[in-house]
Amino acid sequence: ITSAHMLLSAMLDNSIQQGNPLNIDPRRIIWKRVVDMNDRALRNIVIGLGGKAHGVPREDGFDITVASEVMAILCLASNLHDLKERLKRIVVAYNYDGKPVTAEDLHAAGAMAALLKDAVKPNLVQTLEHVPAIIHGGPFANIAHGCNSVMATRTALRLADFTITEAGFGADLGAEKFFDIKCRQAGLAPDACVLVATVRALKMHGGVAKADLKEPNVEAVKKGLPNLGKHIENIFKFGVPVVVAINIFAQDTKEELQAVYDFCAGMGVNVALSDVFAKGGEGGVELAKEVVALAESGMARFKPIYPLEMSLREKVATVVKEIYGGDRVEFQTKAAQALDQYEKEGYGNLPV
């Protein structure tokens, strides 16, 4: 991914060096370089120094490789051909007329796809208990969609009766992007959702300091449970049945666990204990049985939370109100201008 990304960066600057046939405005280049290292000194730099033969001086910077758009594209692509088509559409800069300049304009997509021809193949690994697992891709959820690759998920679905995949971050950001972006684009419809919670986290939501989390505190658990409730409500909005998995710790008390059981029962949701950290697969049998029963219940009526026909502003507002509980959205001038530009360029029908 680093090589493919940096190839596009090199071809972009070379195009400017070789007479700038695409009329690229160096002040409006939005494609940064990447490095697989958190090196803060490279975040904002000046390149092209050293004379005429060394390029055109301009401001640039490095992101970490996993934040590359190429990573997100790799994880949404359904095959190598689809990958190449998505790479073509990468916008790297704008010309002096305000028009976008793409990787296709630079004739870079084919070479980038060739560099990624092996990277598109999912990685099959084996757990300590000899269970197959597919590990492939890792875009950040805060700047991309935060899910493993579509190809990995589809491969797993062909190889097993049940496929379990994880959405990055919580059941707000992670689940929303998994459902609205990955599932929609890949044509996937989840049969069940596992919402992971801990008594420790619930106590922290209830106001307990980190240093005191090991002390029993049923009242704090009860105060933190509305947060869990909101996550459950969010999953319901997508039409997916949910089971709450309590990732237990040794210091959790029966009274604290019972508070979670009672709260979830009031919402019509089953709870299962998960002790895989201490016991391995044996500690997940109870949860596995609940998941199988839920997945085979036929209760799932999956639907994204917004239609693609909505404007970008309406989509953002829907997520803010429905998932995060906000009252309204106020766009700053820069954000509003960006949304207007995206819709003008034909991106209004994409998920957000």
In percent, the amount of the chain with pLDDT more than 70 equals 100
197, 300: one domain: yes
287-305 pLDDT per residue, tens: 999 999 999 999 999 999 9
19, 76: one domain: yes
3-state secondary structure of 297: coil
Looking at residue 109, its pLDDT comes to 98
243, 322: one domain: no
Asked if residue 30 has pLDDT above 90, the reply is yes
72: number of Cβ within 10 Å:
21
Looking at residue 138, its pLDDT comes to 86
Dihedral sign (CA 107, 97, 23, 1): negative
17, 79: one domain: yes
Is residue 349 in a domain? Answer: no
35, 66: one domain: yes
* 289: containing domain: 189-305
Q: How many whole angstroms separate alpha carbon 137 and alpha carbon 127?
A: 18
Q: How many whole angstroms separate alpha carbon 99 and alpha carbon 95?
A: 5
Radius of gyration of the chain from its Cα atoms, rounded to whole angstroms: 23
Looking at residue 129, its pLDDT comes to 94
Residue given tokens 């319901």 in the structure block: 236
44 DSSP 8-state letter = S
Dihedral sign (CA 86, 64, 121, 141): negative
Structure tokens at 43: 């975040």
Q: How many whole angstroms separate alpha carbon 26 and alpha carbon 95?
A: 8
Select from 284, 131, 134 the least CA-distant residue to 196.
Answer: 284
**pTM strictly above 0.75:** yes
Looking at residue 336, its pLDDT comes to 96
19, 74: one domain: yes
255-269 pLDDT per residue, tens: 999 999 999 999 999
132-181 pLDDT per residue, tens: 999 999 888 888 999 999 999 999 999 999 999 998 788 899 999 999 99
99, 77: one domain: yes
Q: What is the DSSP code string of 117-144?
A: TTTTSPEEEE-TTS-EEEE-----TTTS
Q: Which residue has the higher pLDDT, 139 or 107?
A: 107
Is residue 81 in a domain? Answer: yes
Q: How many whole angstroms separate alpha carbon 90 and alpha carbon 95?
A: 15
Looking at residue 140, its pLDDT comes to 87
Please give the average per-residue pLDDT across 29-40, as a whole number.
Answer: 96
Instruction: Measure Cα distances from 338 to 65, 96, 191, 333 in Å.
Output: 24, 17, 36, 9
177, 258: one domain: no
Residue given tokens 């493993």 in the structure block: 148
